[in-house]
Amino acid sequence: MTTNHPAHGPVSLDRLSLNDAIAHADERAEALFGPCAAQHAQLATWLRELQERRKADSADPVSFDELNAAVAEVTGGNQHAWNANIYKGHQEVPFMNYNSLARIVDKYRVPQPAPVVVPDGLRLALSNAGIAAPESDEMLSAKSEKLIQALVTWVKERKPFQSAPAVPEEVSWEDVPEEITEDNMEVALAWAHGFNQCRAAMLQAGNSPVTPDGWCRTCRPVTMNDMRFVVCPECGNKRCPHANDHRHACTGSNEPGQEGSAYQAAPQQEVKSALEHGMQRYAGAMQKLSEGDK
């Protein structure tokens, strides 16, 4: 059993409560999409089933005082006065019939857990996580709790999932709208080149390494050398903290974002908004250039 702190992983269910594990799986299921989300949602379901089984197995025993009160309740009499000189468990029970006894049994009956079966998709989940599973269903069922614990540890150790941003198709000068080019070939070529450079930057941003100066390549200040249009979708400022690290609220200022660490890629909607804003500004510049040539 590992002794690492849950925040630093790996951990087992002996250190990480089931509630925390379920909450973590639910959070990942909501943050991701597609097969990854379904996998974490299924894991949360298994953990809840495991939690219910543990509740049934860990029911507290019924005390003699509780039984004394139950006997008085079902017989309609007073509670038995305990003899201090005799152990409670050895004292006589007031007369009652079997109907009264059955009511007491029902009152304290412990719900029996459902027969343990192999959860649907458990083999596939273990295979995806690289965890060896027993060949027989009987052994898999017997070890299901331990294997689900291993899946929890695997989930905690995984790096944050980053989805590839949706990007537009590559364009040529023929795809440039006429209202931008007005039959000016140089403007059309420049616009198409800028558009494709933006597209290439978006494709690269998801797996680019951290630059030597400490900026995440997705979030670092924009330079015209690589045509990165990373701008705040709210104020359009390239140096707004919201544009640099995707976490700070828009301030409309020129303050740089945080340095020294890499951040996750911007959410899909943020990337799309930034691209649209950047292309609007680029198109405006090209429009002015076109008007100046007349």
Calpha distance 94→98 (Å, rounded): 13
Residue type, 103: R
Give the pLDDT confidence score for residue 173 in this predicted structure.
Answer: 75
pTM of the complete model: 0.29
Q: Are 203 and 167 in contact (CB under 8 A)?
A: yes
Give the pLDDT confidence score for residue 193 in this predicted structure.
Answer: 81
Q: Are 275 and 176 in contact (CB under 8 A)?
A: no
Calpha distance 10→152 (Å, rounded): 9
Calpha distance 171→176 (Å, rounded): 8
- Nearest C-alpha neighbor of 276 from the set 167, 190, 177: 167
Give the pLDDT confidence score for residue 224 in this predicted structure.
Answer: 38
Give the pLDDT confidence score for residue 17 in this predicted structure.
Answer: 64
To 5 degrees, how large is the angle CA 44–CA 45–CA 46?
90
pLDDT in tens, the chain (294 residues): 444 444 444 444 444 566 777 777 777 777 766 666 776 777 777 777 777 766 665 556 677 778 778 888 777 777 877 778 888 777 777 777 777 777 777 776 665 555 556 666 677 777 777 778 787 777 777 777 787 777 777 766 664 444 445 667 788 877 777 766 667 777 777 778 878 887 777 766 554 443 433 334 444 444 434 333 455 656 656 556 555 544 455 655 444 443 333 334 444 454 455 556 556 655 665 566 556 555
Calpha distance 210→140 (Å, rounded): 43
Residues in CB range of 127: below 8 A, 6 or more apart = 133
Q: To which residue do tokens 């995440």 refer?
A: 216
131 DSSP 8-state letter: -
Give the pLDDT confidence score for residue 5 in this predicted structure.
Answer: 41
Calpha distance 222→282 (Å, rounded): 14
Calpha distance 230→270 (Å, rounded): 10
Cis status, amide bond into 177, omega within 30 of 0? no
